[in-house]
Amino acid sequence: MSNPLLTASQNAELAAIRNAGAIRTTDNGIDWRVIHALIPWFSAFVAWLWWAFFLLIPSVFGLHYAGMMPAMNNAAYTMMGLTLCLAATIAAQSQHGVRAIAFTFSVLLLAYWF
């Protein structure tokens, strides 16, 4: 399968790379790379969900401990959660998986403490 546009040596080099397994297909049907790439996005999604359920809604309706705190204090911590969710999303965009998970974890911690 030589390419007529390349020289003999270039074709040989190309063949050697191909033989070295440059093109590999998966047999089991699970593309782990895709799953790996989705984990940061999944964690960012979880962060938004937790923020909405355990920070935003309690703050707005004065639920749980939020009811016994000043409204300004609740607003500050809700915005802190928002910042962490934004950071998790941008980390996912930038393919910074570890950071995305760390920011999500911090949202969970904040929501539990809040």
- Residues near another protein (CB under 8 A) are 9, 12-13, 16-17, 19-22, 24, 65, 68-70, 72-73, 75-77, 79-80, 82-84, 86-87, 90-91, 93-95, 99, 102-103, 106, 109-110, 112-113
Distance CA 85, CA 36 (A): 20
First to last CA, the chain: 65
Nearer to another protein, 57 or 80 (CB): 80
Q: State in angstroms the smallest separation of the CB of 106 from another protein.
A: 3
One-letter identity of residue 53: F
Q: State in angstroms the smallest separation of the CB of 17 from another protein.
A: 6
Burial class (CB in 10 A: 0-12, 13-18, 19+), 98: exposed
Shortest CA distance to 55 belongs to which of 76, 73, 78, 71?
Answer: 78
Nearer to another protein, 42 or 99 (CB): 99
Q: State in angstroms the smallest separation of the CB of 20 from another protein.
A: 5
One-letter identity of residue 43: S
Q: State in angstroms the smallest separation of the CB of 4 from another protein.
A: 19
